[in-house]
Structures are given as C-alpha cells and as structure tokens.
Structure 1
Amino acid sequence: MTRTLVDPYSVPDELRPYLQEVVHHTHALCGSHLVSVIAVGSVALGDYRHGRSDVDVTVVVDKAVPGPAVPELAAALAHPALPCPAAGLELVVYERDFAARPSREAGYLLDINTGPLLPERADFDPSQAPAFWYVIDRSVAHQAGRVLYGRPAREVIAEPARADVLTALRASVREHSTGEGHLTDNRVLNGCRSVQFCRSGRWQAKRRAAEAVAAAEERFRPLLQAALHSYERPSRTAATALPTTEVQAFLAWVGERVEESADADRRG
C-alpha cells in the first residue's frame, strides 16, 4: 500500500513526489518496524534551494527490523534507480533505542549518500565515521525535524547534550577549515550557523544565520555577503570562490566563539 506524506505541503513542491517515493520504499521494506521518516537539514529549517541543497532524511526503525531490509533500502533509494531531483540525498537510519537517548556517537545502521552531485556511498559501520556530523543532525532533527511518516521527531530523536553538540561544532569547524570536499561558501555559512547555535542554543537556516552574524560583525560583513551571494546562485557548479585567507580568519573566529561557549557552560 502506498504511504502518503503526513503533511505534503510541509516540503518544497520540487521534492514532494520524490519524498513520497522515499517514504513508500522505506515502508515497503521495513513494514510495521518503521517508526518515523523525518526531513532534516535545509528542508527542516525552511531554506531548501533547488539545484543547490541536498535532501537530508532521518529514518528510525525498531530493533526487530529484518536484517536484509537495511541493505535493500540502500539499493532501492540509490540514484538513478530512484532519481533524486536535488543535488543529492543524505539519508541515515537509526535503531529506535539508540535514537531515543542522547549520544555523542554516530550510531547509525545505514548512512547513504546518493544523487547527481554526490559521490555514491552506502555505509553500515559507524565505528570509523566522524561522529560530529550525526550529533549535529540529530540535534537539528530534535529541534526542527519535519515528520514525513510516523512519530514526531521530538518523540523519537533525543536532543544531544549541549556539551556534545559543542564538541561536534569544534570538529565541524576543523573540518571546514581544511577546505577539502566543501564549497567555500558552505564552509562560511556553516560557521555562521555554529555561531548562532552557540549564542541561542537553536539551529537556524544558513542564510538567516549569516545575515545575523553579518549584522553584528562588521569586519566579516563583506565576506558573509559574498558567501550569501554565491549560495544564492542557481547551482553548486555556479558557486564562486571566496578569499582563502579571509575564510580561514573567519573560521578561526568561529572556533573561538565555540570555545568561549564551552568555557562559559563549564563555569556555569
């Protein structure tokens, strides 16, 4: 039986048929063991840009899900078998008991990247994965996840401890400081999002975070405006390069803000 989205109008028009198919395939393979399918990332934060953004999805299943279902799901969702209309699909599957408790671990059953602009990847072993990506994604999911099927995000995905999120942000800043595998504008905008989380404890869309930091930090305003202009171009391939020295200086400043937040929390 076809499974419909809980609220079709909560997701962008360009993604609606695709996410319907993601839910349908996931339910077909997991059946009654499927707990939730949740949109996270730019869709959850209301800043999806067609042609530029990935589609980020978190799936929660119970521990009795049949063993073959998870690898079969990876195959069923692989592009172009299921054509992805976005830059790519990043989908993570968690077991319900793991997702329901705060954790600093990666902890997934499956992590797949697929789509026209993503290198194909399906991983079933979280032991060697950089955990910070998953801690941040679960924090976003708990705060803002849009349920596509099943139980609401806040009921099935625990909020990681703030100290663990700050540790994850440290690792994220280090990752983006290297520049490897990341568009320059995205490195800057993720830095803005980290700063805004430190200040408010809430996740904001990248563009909204960049606008807030630019308004408060005059010295970085030209860089942030250039990053926003690049991000608003129609595709990833149209993104513009930003000055390396300025990007590194900004990310060093972001790292200092994360450390200040962690120190303030420790003091108390």
Structure 2
Amino acid sequence: MTRSLVDPQWLPVELRPYLEDLVQRTRAVCGSHLVSVFAVGSIALADYRHGRSDIDVAVVTDPDLPAYAVRELALSVAHPALPCPAAGLELVVYDSDFASHPSGAAGYLLDLNTGPLLSNRASFDATRAPAFWYVIDRSIAYQTGRLLFGSPVRQVIAAPTRHDLLTAILASVREHTDGEGHLADNQVLNGCRSVAFCRTGRWLAKREAAQMIAASQDDFRPLIETALRSFLRPRVAALALPTAEVRTFLVWVRERVEEINT
C-alpha cells in the first residue's frame, strides 16, 4: 500500500509499490535538500505499457545537495538494489536553480539508466550528453508531469523556450534517423509525436499521435499501423519494420519539423 505518493490513483497499479520505494529512498538520501519528485515520459502522458515502457522520473533538489549524495542516490535506486518492475528506469536529477529557468542544456546532476532491459549507466557530467532528450522531457514535465512528492511541478521546473524546444525536437529526429540501438517502432512513433507536437503545440501519447498522423498521411499509414501493433507487444518481441520505409518516414518528419522551425 502506498504511504506518501501524491495522487497514486493516476499511476499504473503495477508501479505504485516501486515508485513508493523510489520516493522513500530518494527522501532518505536527499533529506531536507529534496524539492520534488515527479513522473514524466509515458506515465505523464498516460501511455505506460507494462513490459514495454520505461519508468521516467525527474528529481529536483536544492543546489546545496552534496555531490556524494548524488552518487549515493544513484546506487540506492539502481536495479537490482531496487528491483525495477518495468523495462527500465530513467531517472534524472536537477538542482532547483537550473530547473526553474528555461534552458536548452542538459543541465542534470545525475542521469541514471538502469533496469532489466537497460545497461546500467550513471552520468554525472551533463556537458557530455546530447541536450535534446532532457529538453523534451522537461517540456513534457511542465505540460503534464505527475507529481510523486514535494512541490508542484510548475513551481520547480520551467518550460523550455519555443526555439530551444524545436531545436531539441529536430535533434531528436536526427538521432532516430541516424543513431543506433533504437527500436524501429519507437523511431516511427516518436516521429509521429514530433509532428503532432508541431501541429498542436502539445505533447500527445505515442499512440494518439500515431493515429493522428496515420489518419492524414495515406502513404505512411501501413508503416504507422505496423509500428502501433509492434508497440502493443513486449519490447523483446517487437516487430521488424522495413528499414528503408522507416528512414523515408523520418526524412518526412524532419522536413515537417524544419518547416515550423524556420
């Protein structure tokens, strides 16, 4: 039973005990320096799929949190010290001075990837990371972040500027086009979400965005529908998508983002 989560009814039932433990461990390590903990990503967009989605969490602390505590937190919540019930945990820690101002930088104190299907990685140097992931996550957090503990999201985190956000979206599309290690269905669905944002000014769940784009783009509808079917499967059972068709679609996505970014 959850004991301290804010509005646990908004959270997937499979994750509530885990998120309770995560918040408790974060409070134990950060103490009075902890400002907020909130869920972003698929949880914030009400599109979490158990066995497929990661758990995305942002932590905001005051700037006086000691560096040793940041490293202690990485150890305390890493899988399997805290067994992750999802594909993985992606946890980012910001200090409140950085988080409260719009920025196009990565800006984190800690970026932790851990879990059954993720390689354990803890980064403490934000200058070495591509910024776009974090800019997009902070935008989603500002729009619909789900508070788990502490001060309300919009009191502690600022939305990126339109310029910084569109620059980040374009960088994301380029990464999905040219980068390695991405699931093909995720490449397509994230592309749909990027175009949907450019059209609506809001972040939509991947499936909602994909349905919007499929309804208006007959040429890409079969590819998008296959990506949606794949998204319903566990990550380890994702469907293969034609590489050339995925790339053609992402080139189209990039052109749409560039149009609005000019």
The answer for the alignment partner of 2:208 in structure 1 is 208
The answer for the alignment partner of 2:217 in structure 1 is 217
Any idea what the Cα deviations from partners look like across 1:55-113, whole Å, max 9, x if unmatched?
Answer: 00000000122332110000001101100000000000000010000000000000000
Does the 8 A contact of 1:54 with 1:86 survive in 2? yes
Aligned residue type for 1:147: L
Q: Distance in 2 between matches of 1:5 and 1:172?
A: 32
Q: Distance in 1 between matches of 2:59 and 2:43?
A: 15
Measure how far apart 1:13 and its partner are: 0.3
The answer for the alignment partner of 1:49 in structure 2 is 49
The answer for the alignment partner of 2:140 in structure 1 is 140
The answer for the alignment partner of 2:86 in structure 1 is 86
The answer for the alignment partner of 2:260 in structure 1 is 261
Q: Distance in 2 between matches of 1:202 and 1:89?
A: 24
Does the 8 A contact of 1:41 with 1:140 survive in 2? yes
The answer for the alignment partner of 1:239 in structure 2 is 238
Q: Distance in 2 between matches of 1:166 and 1:118?
A: 28
Deviates more, 1:123-132 or 1:64-73: 64-73
Q: Distance in 1 between matches of 2:164 and 2:179?
A: 23
Measure how far apart 1:128 and its partner are: 1.0
- Runs of 4+ residues deviating >6 angstroms: none
Q: Distance in 2 between matches of 1:242 and 1:152?
A: 40
Aligned residue type for 2:9: Y
Q: Name the CA shift for 1:173/1:244 in 2 (closer, same or farther; >3 Å).
A: same
Does the 8 A contact of 1:193 with 1:206 survive in 2? yes
TM-score by structure 2 length? 0.98
Deviates more, 1:125-134 or 1:3-12: 3-12
Equivalent residues in 2 for 1:160-171, closer than 5 Å: 160-171=160-171
The answer for the alignment partner of 1:266 in structure 2 is none
Residue 36 of structure 2 corresponds to residue 32 of structure 1? no
DSSP-derived class of the 1:17 partner: helix
Q: Distance in 1 between matches of 2:111 and 2:3?
A: 22
Residue 189 of structure 2 corresponds to residue 189 of structure 1? yes
Aligned residue type for 1:212: M
The answer for the alignment partner of 2:70 in structure 1 is 70
TM-score by structure 1 length? 0.96
DSSP-derived class of the 1:170 partner: helix
Q: Name the CA shift for 1:141/1:220 in 2 (closer, same or farther; >3 Å).
A: same
Equivalent residues in 2 for 1:122-161, closer than 5 Å: 122-161=122-161
Q: Distance in 2 between matches of 1:226 and 1:81?
A: 37
Does the 8 A contact of 1:38 with 1:57 survive in 2? yes
Aligned residue type for 1:13: V
Question: Unaligned stretches of 5+ in structure 1?
Answer: 264-268
DSSP-derived class of the 1:68 partner: helix
Does the 8 A contact of 1:3 with 1:27 survive in 2? no
Aligned residue type for 1:177: T
Does the 8 A contact of 1:195 with 1:257 survive in 2? yes
RMSD of aligned alpha carbons: 1.0
Deviates more, 1:171-180 or 1:9-18: 171-180
Any idea what the Cα deviations from partners look like across 1:171-195, whole Å, max 9, x if unmatched?
Answer: 1111101251110000000000000
Aligned residue type for 1:118: L
The answer for the alignment partner of 2:250 in structure 1 is 251
Any idea what the Cα deviations from partners look like across 1:191-232, whole Å, max 9, x if unmatched?
Answer: 000001111110000010000000011111000000000001
Q: Distance in 2 between matches of 1:76 and 1:254?
A: 40
Q: Distance in 2 between matches of 1:244 and 1:179?
A: 13
Equivalent residues in 2 for 1:16-27, closer than 5 Å: 16-27=16-27
